Structure 1
Amino acid sequence: MNLLICARCGARTDVPLVEPDEPVIRCAACGHRRRFHRLPLYCVTGPSGTGKSTVARLLGERLSDRFVVLEQDVLWLAGLRDPADDHRAFRSAWLRVISMIHQNGRPAVLCGTVVPPELEPLPERALFAEIRYLSLVCDPDVLAERLRARPAWREWDEPRIAETLEYTAWIRSCADRMDPPMTLLDTTHVPVEATAEAVCAWVTGG
Structure 2
Amino acid sequence: MNLLICERCGERADHPQVEPEAVIRCAHCGHRWPFLRLPLFCVTGPSGTGKSTVQRLLAGELAERFVVLEQDVLWVAGLRDDRAEHRPFRSTWLRMAAMIHQSRRPVVLCGTVVPPEFEPLPERALFERIDYLCLTCDPDVLAERLRNRPAWREWDGPRIAEMLDYAAWIDATAATMDPPMTLLDTTGVPAEQTARAVRDWLDERAKTTPA
Query: In the TM superposition, what is the alpha-carbon distance from 1:127 to its structure 2 partner?
Result: 0.5
Letter in 2 for 1:5: I
Q: Which residue does 1:7 correspond to in 2? A: 7
Q: What is the alpha-carbon distance in structure 2 between the residues aligned to residue 27 and residue 84 of structure 1?
A: 29
Equivalent-residue separation in structure 2 for 1:38 and 1:14 (angstroms): 19
Work out the CA distance in 2 between the residues paired with 1:121 and 1:70. 22
Shift of 1:189: 1.4
What is the deviation of 1:5?
Answer: 0.6
Give the Å deviation of 1:42. 0.2
Taking the aligned partners of 2:181 and 2:191, their CA distance within structure 1 comes to 20
Residue 19 (str. 1) matches residue 19 (str. 2)? yes
- The total of aligned residue pairs comes to 205
Show structure 1 runs of 5+ residues with no match: none
Match for residue 184 of structure 1?
Answer: 183
Q: Which residue of 2 aligns with 1:193?
A: 192
Question: Per-residue displacement from partner, 1:54-93 (whole Å, max 9, x unpaired)?
Answer: 0101111221110000000000000100111100000011
User: Partner residue of 1:150?
Assistant: 149
1:106-162 residue CA offsets vs partner (Å, 9 max, x unmatched): 000000000000011110110011001010000000000001111111111010000
Corresponding position of 1:79: 78
Q: Name the stretch that deviates more: 10-19 or 154-163.
A: 10-19
Distance (Å, rounded) in 2 between the aligned partners of 1:68 and 1:169: 30
- State the TM-score, normalized to the length of structure 1: 0.98
Residues 45 and 52, structure 1, Cα contact 8 Å, conserved in 2 = yes
1:1-206 alignment, distance < 5 Å: 1-20=1-20, 22-205=21-204
State the alpha-carbon separation in 2 of the partners of residues 56 and 148 from structure 1: 21
Distance 2:95 2:19 in 1: 18
| 1:150 aligned counterpart, secondary structure | coil
After TM superposition, which residue ranges in structure 1, 4 or more long, deviate above 3 angstroms? none
Secondary structure of the 2:9 match is coil
Deviations 1:94-117 (A, max 9, x none): 111111111111000000000000
Take 2:39 and 2:119, find their aligned partners in 1: how far apart are those partners? 13
For structure 2, the residue ranges without an aligned partner over 5 or more in a row are: 206-211
Question: Does the residue aligned with 1:135 lie in a helix, a strand or coil?
Answer: strand
Deviation digits for residues 25-61 of structure 1 (CA, Å, limit 9, x no counterpart): 1112211111111010000000000000001011112
Give the Cα–Cα distance (whole angstroms) in 1 for the partners of residues 17 and 40 of structure 2. Answer: 19
Q: Which moved more, 1:53-62 or 1:136-145?
A: 53-62
Q: Secondary structure at the match of 1:205?
A: helix
> Could you tell me which residue of structure 1 aligns to residue 209 of structure 2?
none
Return the letter of the residue paired with 1:104. Answer: S
Q: Distance in 1 between matches of 2:30 and 2:154?
A: 51
